[in-house]
Amino acid sequence: MSADGSIPLARPVIGPEEEAAVLAVLRSGQLSLGPKTVEFEQRFAARLGTKHALAVSSGTAGLHLALNAVGVGPGDEVITSPFSFVASANAILYAGAKPVFVDVDPVSLTIDPEAAAAAVTERTAAFLPVDIFGMPARVDILENLKLPIVQDSCEALGAVDLEGVPVGGRGHPSVFGFYANKQMTTGEGGMVTCNEGSISEVIASERNQGRAVDMGWLDHDRLGYNYRLSEIAAAIGVVQLDRLDGMLAMRTALAELYAAALENVDVGIPAASWEGGTRGWFVYVVTLPNHVNRDAVILALRAAGVDCKPYLPALHLMGHLAEVSGSRPGEFPVAEAAGSRGLALPFFPGLTEAEVARVAESLATAMTNASGA
Ligand SMILES: Cc1ncc(COP(=O)(O)O)c(C=O)c1O
């Protein structure tokens, strides 16, 4: 609970261990390009079972670099999901390519693999599936189509796919994000996992202004960016990795508490798993029935001290993305329905059982008042 008695949507778990780790870096004098970044990367790769993990300044930066590294460029098309956070589609634009949206599966809200296969043209350079709300997309099916895959796993740390592989561990570049509402945080930050040495080398160079790891200071042989993660952030990441299993378990337990508390409330509750695997719980998004006015529910919940957000507006209807993709309203009905009826409720380790009950009661009351409003 916040000081004013309201319940926030998200809150990071930060303790004395993170404080000590940050202080140690500050006192070391090495604030960038140092041992904490290497330690963070090695531990992350070991956890997911990949050969490489590259720390970057954000999930968005990681998506941009991963698309560059698999060879996406101007004139290319990248097939992706319209039900995502805007960064997944924006990264395609950064690479000079065009996002080609296809609709999503109604249960997982991840890209429909059949629709993705049907959208392939001679210009298709890659697929960019999104493990939205932590649910694993069917990348196993996309792999059969023999095109590069960049997986947006920014919301999916802790998810496991249908073959028992941790999401992000299949070998193609997968990108994680560490913004403060994520399963673990570094404040801002991200990580790209992959198995191929050549892809790892491109990402390592481009995140550091186009300087390969074996090149000297002020030596650059390709266009690069400053997408580095600081040592301060990496040190927080190392401590958060120590906490990660506990934090993931708390999220899973909370989802179970919510499912029980909402049993008699007329909302669709999110599935813990589907045919593609098991969710790594990130947000708790319920689906309101059609007759309930979502905006009115949001206002009522906030007035009752319960933060909440509409999740997520469909990307293909956003101005710049509608323009570049040529998408129209009504084109992706599953994504649009989910986008117009989803509501994210407070969800973070430390949320108590009593607070979950309060959220459920406030939601039920708000929905009764907002029915037909
Ligand atoms: C699905 C998805 N993709 C990409 C991102 C971008 O990550 P970041 O905010 O670290 O740039 C996020 C996180 O906010 C996300 O949820």
User: Do 159 and 101 sit in the same domain of this protein?
Assistant: yes
User: Do 321 and 230 sit in the same domain of this protein?
Assistant: no
**Which of ligand 1's atoms lies nearest the C-alpha of 87?**
4
> In this predicted structure, what is the pLDDT of residue 344?
98
Helix H or strand E segment including 79: strand 77-80
Which of 9, 57, 60, 176 to mutate for ligand 1's pocket (most ligand atoms within 8 Å of CB)?
A: 60
**Which of ligand 1's atoms lies nearest the C-alpha of 189?**
10
Q: How many domains are contained in the chain?
A: 2
Confidence of residue 215 (pLDDT cuts 50, 70, 90): confident
Helix H or strand E segment including 343: strand 342-345
Which residues contact ligand 1 via a Cβ below 6 A? 58-60, 84-85, 87-88, 130, 152, 154-155, 177, 179, 190
Instruction: Tell me the CA–centroid distance for residue 166 and ligand 1, in Å.
Output: 19
Point out the domain boundary residue: 239, 266, 297: 239
**Which of ligand 1's atoms lies nearest the C-alpha of 177?**
10
> In this predicted structure, what is the pLDDT of residue 62?
98
Point out the domain boundary residue: 223, 239, 255: 239
Confidence of residue 258 (pLDDT cuts 50, 70, 90): very high
Output helix, strand, coil percentages for the chain, rounded to the nearest 5: 40, 15, 45
CATH number of the domain at 203, please. Answer: 3.40.640.10
> In this predicted structure, what is the pLDDT of residue 318?
96
Q: Is 5 inside a domain boundary?
A: no
Nearest-CA residue for ligand 1 atom 1 is 85
Q: In sequence order, what are the residues at sequence separation of 6 or more whose Cβ sits closer than 8 angstroms to the Cβ of residue 142?
A: 111, 113, 116, 127, 129, 149
**Range list of β-strands (E), 184-322:** 190-194, 273-274, 277-278, 284-287, 309-310
What is the rounded distance in angstroms from the CA atom of residue 321 to the CA atom of residue 327?
A: 8
User: Do 196 and 280 sit in the same domain of this protein?
Assistant: no
Nearest-CA residue for ligand 1 atom 8 is 59
Residue type, 324: V
Confidence of residue 221 (pLDDT cuts 50, 70, 90): confident
pLDDT in tens, 23-70: 999 999 999 999 999 999 999 999 999 999 999 999 999 999 999 999
pLDDT in tens, 271-318: 999 999 999 999 999 999 999 999 999 999 999 999 999 999 999 999
Q: Is 4 inside a domain boundary?
A: no
Instruction: Tell me the CA–centroid distance for residue 74 and ligand 1, in Å.
Output: 23
CATH number of the domain at 315, please. Answer: 3.90.1150.10
User: Do 175 and 67 sit in the same domain of this protein?
Assistant: yes
Reported pTM: 0.97
Instruction: Tell me the CA–centroid distance for residue 87 and ligand 1, in Å.
Output: 6
Give the mean pLDDT of 62-86: 98
Q: Is the pLDDT of residue 372 over 60?
A: no
**Which of ligand 1's atoms lies nearest the C-alpha of 61?**
11
**Range list of β-strands (E), 189-323:** 190-194, 273-274, 277-278, 284-287, 309-310
Phi-psi region for residue 187, left (φ > 0), alpha (ψ -120 to 50) or beta?
left
> In this predicted structure, what is the pLDDT of residue 34?
96
**Which of ligand 1's atoms lies nearest the C-alpha of 58?**
10
What is the rounded distance in angstroms from the CA atom of residue 79 to the CA atom of residue 149?
A: 10
Percentage of the residues of the chain whose pLDDT score is greater than 70: 99
User: Do 101 and 231 sit in the same domain of this protein?
Assistant: yes
User: Do 166 and 258 sit in the same domain of this protein?
Assistant: no
Point out the domain boundary residue: 239, 255, 273: 239
Strand partners, 226: 208
Task: Domain of residue 36: give its range.
Answer: 16-239
Confidence of residue 125 (pLDDT cuts 50, 70, 90): very high
User: Do 230 and 128 sit in the same domain of this protein?
Assistant: yes
User: Do 150 and 172 sit in the same domain of this protein?
Assistant: yes
Confidence of residue 132 (pLDDT cuts 50, 70, 90): very high
User: Do 46 and 177 sit in the same domain of this protein?
Assistant: yes
Q: Is 97 inside a domain boundary?
A: yes
What is the rounded distance in angstroms from the CA atom of residue 253 to the CA atom of residue 277?
A: 18
User: Do 169 and 276 sit in the same domain of this protein?
Assistant: no
